[in-house]
Structure 1
Amino acid sequence: MTIQYVDVLYTAVATAENGRDGRVATDDGKLDVIVNPPIELGGTGAGTNPEQLFAAGYSACFQSALGVVARRAKTDVSGSRVTAKVGLGKTESGGFGLTVALDVSIPNLERDAAAALVEQAHEVCPYSNATRGNVEVTLSVV
Structure 2
Amino acid sequence: MIQDKVLLIGLLGVLSTIPGEIASRIFVYFGIGKYSIYELASLIITFNRPVFTIGLIVDFLVGSVFAILLYFIFEKLGSYYLVIKTTFSSLLSWLVCELLFTATVEGKYIPIRPINDYYSHIISAMIFGITLGLLLKKFIFKKLNS
After TM superposition, the score normalised by the length of structure 2 is 0.40
Instruction: Say which structure is richer in helix.
Output: 2
Specify which structure has the bigger relative contact order, considering alpha-carbon pairs within 8 angstroms and separated by 6 or more residues: 2
Q: Which has the larger radius of gyration?
A: 1
After TM superposition, the score normalised by the length of structure 1 is 0.41
Instruction: Say which structure is richer in strand.
Output: 1
